[in-house]
A and B are shown apart, each in its own frame.
Chain A
C-alpha cells in the first residue's frame, strides 16, 4: 500500500469526519487551501512535515493517513523493515531502539497519555 494510493482518500475522509472544509483545515495546519485540494486529488504529495501537521489537526495518526493502519489512532510500532537496517552495527541498532523509545514516550506525553 503506497502513500499516493491511499493518502488522498484517507485525508478527505478524516477531514469530512471532523466536519472541516478545506479552507478550515488549511488554517489549522498553516498550509495553503490549494495544497489541501491538491493532496486530496492526488496531484501533490505530502512531506513528513505536511503529514505531521495534518495528522495533528485531524486528530488521527500519520500512520493512518499513510494507510499503514486502518485505525485512525493506530500507530505502527517496532517496524524495522526499512531498508539497510540490517547493515547497522549492533551498537547503532541499540542506540536507534533507545532513541525510538524516547520518541514513543514523547508521543504519549504529548497526547497526555
Chain B
C-alpha cells in the first residue's frame, strides 16, 4: 500500500495557534530523545534505519514529487525524490515521510481500498503536520537555538545554520524566523508576487504592520522587485543586497532601516528575501518620535 506522495511543500507551516503545533514538536523531540541524538545535524536516514524503515532514492524527473511512504503489512519504506539536487531538500522529504509514520491519526488519511474518500479531513492538514514534524526533527528547538545564538543575524546566520543542520536554505530560514530574537522577516516570492512571509516574534510585536498575504505584490523600489524582474537571476541563483525599510514592506508608522538580502532559488523558481535589523527602536525612542511628529502637526 502506498501511503503518501506529497507535493513539494517544504515551506508550509502549521498555524501558530494550532494545538497540533505543540504535540507535533513533542512527538519529534521524543523521537530524538529516544534515539539518543544530542548534536546537529540530525540525520533522517539514520532515524529511518533505526525505525526499521527502508529508504530508497527515486530518480524521478516528475516535478511535484518529494517523497512516498509505502507499507506492506508491517514493513515500511520511504521513496524520496532527487528531482531537486539539494541534499537539504531531500533530507527534509525523508523527514516529512517520517512525520507521516510517527504522527498520531495519520493512518486515517490513507484511503482504504474498500472505502470512499468522502468525509476525509483535508489532506492539507496531514501534509502541514508532516512538514512541521520534519522541521522539528531536523532542527530541534534546543539544538537549533544554541546554534542560532552563535550564528549572527540575517542571511549569513541562516547559511551557517543550513550548514550545521544540513537542511535546505528555505526550511532553515523559516525556522530561523520562528526562533530568532532579532527583527527578521523571511519572504518567498515568485516574480511580482509574494508566496508567503514569516516574521520573527520581535517584528510581530510591532503594532500597525500588515502581514503580506499570499499573492500580495512585492513592493516596488526594493532589491527583490528589481531582482525578480530578471528571471535569469533566479535560475542562476544570483544574490543581491540592498537597504530597505520596514514601512516599505509592512506599512505602519515606525521607520526602521533594514538590510534586504535576496537569493535566487535556482530550479525551485522562487526568490528568498531576508529582511533583518539587529536593532529596533526602543519604547523611549518611539515615544520621542511620536512627540516629534505631534509637534510638527499643525493645529488650527
Contacts and interface: CB of A to CB of B under 8 A. Distances in A.
Interface in B39-82: 51, 54, 56, 58-62, 64-65, 68-77, 79
Interface string B73-109: 1111101000000000000000000001111111110
A62 B73 contact: yes
Contacts of A15: none
Interface of A is mostly: helix
A62 B71 contact: yes
B114 interface: yes
Interface in A54-102: 55-56, 61-63, 66-68, 75-77, 79-85, 87-89, 91-92, 95-96, 99-100, 102
A46 B106 CA distance: 8
B115 A1 contact: yes
A53 to B, nearest CB: 9
Interface stretch (B1-9, B170-178, B228-236, B287-295): B1-9
Interface string A29-59: 0000000000000001111111110011000
A41 to B, nearest CB: 14
B71 A85 contact: no
Interface residues of B, number: 44
A44 B108 CA distance: 12
Given A68-B114, A76-B1, A103 B107 contact: no
B76 A103 contact: yes
A104 B3 CA distance: 15
Interface in A2-46: 2-4, 44-46
Interface in B253-296: none
A88 B77 contact: no
Given A61-B74, A104-B73, A107-B75, A47 B104 contact: yes
A85 B1 CA distance: 11
Contacts of A77: 72
Contact of B65 (A4, A47, A88, A110): A88
B111 interface: yes
20 contacts: A1-B114, A3-B107, A3-B108, A47-B107, A48-B69, A62-B71, A63-B73, A66-B112, A68-B114, A79-B112, A81-B113, A82-B5, A82-B110, A87-B62, A88-B5, A88-B62, A99-B77, A103-B77, A104-B73, A106-B72
Interface of B: 1-5, 51, 54, 56, 58-62, 64-65, 68-77, 79, 100-108, 110-115, 117, 119, 123
Given A102-B54, A107-B73, 4 more contacts: A1-B114, A3-B107, A48-B71, A103-B75
